[in-house]
């Protein structure tokens, strides 16, 4: 499956920056292929996005409030979740 987080393994930042206008995707490691260990659930991502909008919380506020890593939460908003049901930790 194609990685939903990037374009051909590269992320184009919203704000172009002289030092990194393209950065390798941290999810697929720049391969462009969605790796094992993650699941793509876009509808769940929409629900999480709606919750933040309804609660008028920024990503940072919500991650502090729910005690979740801000990087994880920004992935969730895009529908990307770590698959915790395989492999185990
Ligand atoms: Zn990717």
pLDDT single digits (tens) 57-81 = 999 999 999 999 999 999 999 999 9
Q: Quote the ligand 1 centre to 12 CA distance (angstroms).
A: 11
Q: How many domains does the chain have?
A: 2
pTM: 0.76
pLDDT band at 84 (very low <50, low <70, confident <90, very high): confident
Q: Quote the ligand 1 centre to 8 CA distance (angstroms).
A: 7
Asked if 65 and 49 sit in the same domain, the reply is yes
Asked if 41 and 29 sit in the same domain, the reply is no
Domain residues for the domain of 78 are 36-89
Number of H helices, E strands in the chain: 3, 4
Q: Quote the ligand 1 centre to 62 CA distance (angstroms).
A: 24
Q: Quote the ligand 1 centre to 42 CA distance (angstroms).
A: 15
* Cα dist from 82 to 14, 15, 16, 22, 73, whole Å: 24, 26, 28, 24, 11
Q: Quote the ligand 1 centre to 24 CA distance (angstroms).
A: 8
- pLDDT, the chain, mean: 88
- Which tens digit of pLDDT belongs to each residue from 18-70? 666 778 898 999 999 999 999 999 999 999 999 999 999 999 999 999 999 99
């Amino acid at each position: 499956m194609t990685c939903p987080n990037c374009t051909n393994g590269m992320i184009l930042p919203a704000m172009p920056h002289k030092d990194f206008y393209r950065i390798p995707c941290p999810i697929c490691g720049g391969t462009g292929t969605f790796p094992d260990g993650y699941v793509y659930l876009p509808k769940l991502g929409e629900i999480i996005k709606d919750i933040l909008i309804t609660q008028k919380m920024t990503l940072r506020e919500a991650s502090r409030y729910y005690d979740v890593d801000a990087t994880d939460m920004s992935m969730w908003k895009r529908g990307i979740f770590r698959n915790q049901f395989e492999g185990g930790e």
